[in-house]
Amino acid sequence: MRKPIIAGNWKMNKTPAEAVELVKGLIPLVKDAKCDVVVCPTAVCLPAVAEVIKGTNIKLGAQNVHFAEKGAYTGELSADMLKAVGCEYVIVGHSERRQYFGETDKTVNLRATAAVKAGLTAIICVGEMKDERVDGYTDIIVAYQTKMALKGLTAEELNHVVIAYEPVWAIGTGLTATDEQANETIGVIRKAIAEVYGDDVAQKVRIQYGGSMKGSNVKGLMAQPEIDGGLIGGASLKAEDFAQVVNF
Ligand code: 13P
């Protein structure tokens, strides 16, 4: 019922020339994908990658967006700017932004709202830290982050939201949540959405897993009923690796 979506978060990797090379390699490998395919290069690579993926089934996403339309926000990019260079998606509230750049539930909500109102689809990241899982707070944390991120958005606007459940301890560590852990926590996120918007709306929202997802573990994760795709870091930086995930 929910079409899977696999997105590559390239993080701070690849020059424009390298990004073009990667995506050119990817195009033939994912052309028959049954899921939505998104790549999220750095901002400087967006125009070049947009040009190469024209007419293909690969969609473009950015890694962050500011909430103002324009103004004195040095270093930031508006939703309209991202749209102008061909973005349809934008990642919001990645744990690296929360950890290293002072992103809060409030700013995640502002950024997600700006993205959605401008017509982008926001891939909103939520996830617990290692000690939060050990202490038994995972469900509370992910439910709270989800509700705060979506605050003020209408049920209609949730058509333009994807949630990415990324346990922070699984990102870039080689540690993956077990299929069951990921499925269970994504179920908690869906329940949190249902508490605000009702079950019909919650059943339509796509929720990805992210955290050391790769060719060798994608099948097990994607076989879980709650998991609707993946947000892929390391394994999105080589065409063959990412294609293995996409063609799960
Ligand atoms: P890795 O796949 O490298 O663990 O990164 C996951 C991630 O943070 C995607 O946004």
Cα 163 to middle of ligand 1, angstroms: 14
Contact 5, 31 (CB under 8 A): no
Give percent of the chain above pLDDT 70. Answer: 100
pLDDT for residue 205 is more than 90: yes
User: pLDDT at position 210, please?
Assistant: 97
CATH superfamily for 5-246 is Aldolase class I (3.20.20.70)
Segment 61-90, tens digit of pLDDT: 999 999 999 999 999 999 999 999 999 999
Q: Is 94 tagged catalytic?
A: yes
The DSSP result for 192-234, as a single string, is: HHHHHH-HHHHHHSEEEEESS--TTTHHHHHTSTT--EEEESG
Cα 105 to middle of ligand 1, angstroms: 20
Rounded distance, CA 36 to CA 5, Å? Answer: 5
Q: How many helices (H) and strands (E) does the chain have?
A: 11, 8
- Which residue's alpha carbon is nearest to atom 7 within ligand 1? 233
Give the global pTM: 0.98
Positive or negative, the Cα torsion across 109, 78, 6, 129?
Answer: negative
Rounded distance, CA 178 to CA 163, Å? Answer: 19
Cα 71 to middle of ligand 1, angstroms: 31
pLDDT band at residue 215 using 50, 70 and 90 as cut-offs: very high
Amino acid at 60: L
Mutate to test the pocket of ligand 1, among 212, 236, 244 (most ligand atoms within 8 A of CB): 212
Q: For ligand 1, what atom is nearest to the CA of residue 173? A: 4
pLDDT for residue 176 is more than 90: no
- Kindly name the residue from 66, 88, 94, 157 that is annotated as catalytic: 94
How, if at all, do strands 206-210 and 161-165 pair? Answer: parallel
User: pLDDT at position 1, please?
Assistant: 86
Segment 92-143, tens digit of pLDDT: 999 999 999 999 999 999 999 999 999 999 999 999 999 999 999 999 999 9
Segment 129-174, tens digit of pLDDT: 999 999 999 999 999 999 999 999 999 999 999 999 999 999 988 8
